[in-house]
Amino acid sequence: MNKLLDFKNILLMFCLVFILISCANKKEFIEEYNKPATYWYNKMIIQISGNYLDDADDLYTSLESEHRNSPLLPTALLILANGHINQEEYALANFYLDEYITKYALSKNIDYVRFLKIKANFLGFSYQLREQELIESTIIEIKKFKLKFPNSEYINLVNTMNARLHMAKAYMDYEIANLYKKLVKPKAADLYTKKAQNAWINPKEIIKPKVPFYRAVFE
């Protein structure tokens, strides 16, 4: 009988502790809503400074959902995009940059945002014989940038990335041509050879990229 009472007492204490913890969590959960924009923004900055970008993403979502017209949103988007670029998370960076471009296309610093998007794509190019579509789409974005923002302070950096991407494309075309030659497909080989020759890059100036031994087999 005493053992049964002891068991009931332990069970009751456990239930009380569980209820108290649940209430505390519920209270904390409730307090994380209906906050001013500066609350979400400052917490987001703290998380980014500690490289907790997943938490920063969630905090931006709270900021954007509760304060759709907040003047802090454009800055928050750019800070998040730069944070993801620094962490080499280029797809997420582009997500925030695209959102900025969609919402604030008339912003006075839209050239900076477009530059960041080009930079994210450029840095995201990591396999010299792959990602052909990424190279070509980024070159197109660069052409648009140069036409729209010829006097931008970022134009020299964009021109540097443009030259390197054209070298990468020419090198890729030559490699594809050589592959078709090995497969005895002269028409395809000739097509890619002409594509490479039509580039303004001198093939003799192209330095073959160094590939780690564990990747060379697959390139």
DSSP conformation letters of 130-148:
S-HHHHHHHHHHHHHHHHH
pLDDT at 202: 60
CA distance 85 to 90: 6
So where are the chain's domains? Answer: 37-98
pLDDT at 29: 39
CA distance 174 to 176: 5
pLDDT at 203: 57
pLDDT at 200: 60
For each successive 10 residues of the chain (219 residues), what is the average pLDDT? 48 49 44 85 95 95 94 96 94 95 91 96 72 86 96 96 87 82 84 72 57 40
**In sequence order, which ranges of the chain are alpha helices (DSSP H)?**
2-31, 37-49, 53-66, 72-86, 90-103, 110-124, 132-148, 155-182, 186-198, 213-216
Q: Taking a C-beta distance cutoff of 8 angstroms, is the pair 114, 138 a contact?
A: no
pLDDT at 130: 58
Which is nearest to 125 in space by CA: 168, 180, 77, 167?
168
CA distance 84 to 96: 9
pLDDT at 192: 79
